[in-house]
Copies of this chain bind each other. A is one copy, B any other.
Amino acid sequence: MFVRVVWRMLGGVRHLIGTAMTTVDIIEDGHAIALTSSGTVMRYHAIWLRDNAWDETTRAPGNGQRLIALRDIPIDTKIRAASVEDGQLCLEFAPENRRIAYDLQWLSDHAYDVVKRGDSSWVSDEISIWNSALSDQIPLADLGQVQTSPEARASWLGGVARYGFGKLTGGPVEEGALFQVADLFGYVRETNYGRHFEVRTEVNPTNLAFTGLGLQAHTDNPYRDPVPTVQILYCLENSAEGGENMVVDGFACALKLRDENPEGFDLLSRYCARFEYAGEGGVCLRSRRPMIELAPDGELTAVRFNNRSAAAITDVPYADMEGYYAAYRQLGEIIDDPAMEVTFKLNPGECFIVNNTRVLHARKGYSGEGSRWLQGCYADMDGLRSTHAALLQELGMAAE
């Protein structure tokens, strides 16, 4: 009898396979099997299959955590018998003499016997890159609505996950309202700036953000490691002349640089920059990370760009420094190009949120009569993505 299996569909794009037509062959002396379906062959190793069993002696039934470690699986694990029955692959493992069933759809979703992307840099299918043309279709919602409607919340969070940016309107004009935004999806990341910080003109500013100066598009706190991956900026007053906000998709800019100057892109991703902040007592933050960060397989995972806190770059050898600076300048020009930016002026009770590892934000200088007062705080993208994914599951919706 096969152990009862509870399948947990955690991610992966679903590819429908003709399960009725699937056949299985034991290959490589039992160290692997081959599933053939509609002429397509997908191989899976015995050790991978055993490690990914979902029976109740392998995974805790309640929380889904794995109860065993790899050390508990015999090193000479092989498949002794295999069959396809009722949409399930049924396997018998030696030397454990254990029989485990696998959902064919789950196996198809998690197939790894596929040709991988050969690109040296790429972005996930779960995101869309954008430029100023996004202006008319930014992820936009009413705060009260996303608080009360799970569907509205799922839709807006999905937009933020996909575009790295979103706006909310209709919120209360009161101090601390920004925490209601963080509560939609996660937890505030407290820093030396506090649980939140006031963005308005100060007499002795510890940070140039707390002046009326314009700020070039930047990611926040690149001198922190890990950086806060979400920033929320919430408007309480904005009657001053100027002070508009701009957002720019750093991934779009990095890919544009790659297309225009592949060697420059390579330099900015291959060498670490350095960032630092020591603008107040007791604080001496430093980091060493590339401006364009790639996963080992080339996925574009983060952009860091901030003229105010860039420290001396010392990890680029002399022979590459001129090319590095040229690429750094070119990336800045792309970021500054109005064709890449979405501009808006926040009204009191409105806010915006950015994925701070991807989307840069800027503001125009302001002065004159009137006042400008924003409150800001940090949070993290993993909580946002988690809340979004859990909402979709609860609502029985597929990811966009």
Residues of A within 8 A of B (CB): 8, 10-12, 31, 43, 45, 47-48, 51-52, 60, 62-71, 75, 110-114, 116, 187-192, 204-208, 216, 223-227, 229, 269-272, 276-290, 294-297, 299, 307-318, 321-322, 325, 328-329, 332-333, 336, 380-383, 385-387, 389-391, 393-394
Contacts and interface: CB of A to CB of B under 8 A. Distances in A.
A63 B322 contact: no
B318 A285 contact: no
Given A47-B325, A313-B112, A329-B71, A63 B224 contact: no
A327 to B, nearest CB: 11
A286 B385 contact: yes
28 contacts: A10-B276, A10-B311, A47-B322, A47-B325, A48-B321, A48-B325, A52-B312, A60-B208, A62-B279, A63-B279, A65-B279, A66-B309, A69-B307, A70-B329, A113-B317, A187-B189, A190-B190, A191-B383, A225-B382, A269-B296, A272-B296, A281-B390, A282-B387, A283-B390, A284-B386, A284-B393, A285-B385, A285-B386
Contacts of A276: 10-11
A64 B278 contact: yes
A314 to B, nearest CB: 5
A28 to B, nearest CB: 9
Given A69-B216, A188-B190, A332-B71, A63 B207 contact: yes
Contact of A116 (B60, B224, B311, B317): B317
Given A71-B336, A271-B297, A225 B381 contact: yes
A214 to B, nearest CB: 10
A192 B383 contact: yes
Contacts of A288: 295, 299
A68 B307 CA distance: 7
Closest 6 CB pairs of A and B: A63-B279, A226-B226, A284-B389, A187-B190, A69-B307, A65-B308
A400 B6 CA distance: 53
Nearest to A315: B297
Contact of A329 (B75, B114, B187): B75
A110 B314 contact: yes
Nearest to A389: B284
Contacts of A63: 205-208, 279-280
A11 B287 CA distance: 11
A289 B226 CA distance: 14
Contacts of A65: 207-208, 277, 279, 308-309
B207 A321 contact: no
Nearest to A316: B112
Given A10-B286, A270-B296, A272-B295, A328 B66 contact: no
Contacts of A64: 277-279
Contacts of A207: 63, 65
Contacts of A336: 71
A311 B307 CA distance: 39
A272 B289 CA distance: 19
Nearest to A307: B69
Contacts of A229: 225-226
A272 B229 CA distance: 20
Contacts of A311: 10
A2 B12 CA distance: 61
Contact of A310 (B66, B283, B287, B289): B66
B208 A287 contact: no
A194 to B, nearest CB: 9
A112 B332 contact: no
B208 A45 contact: no
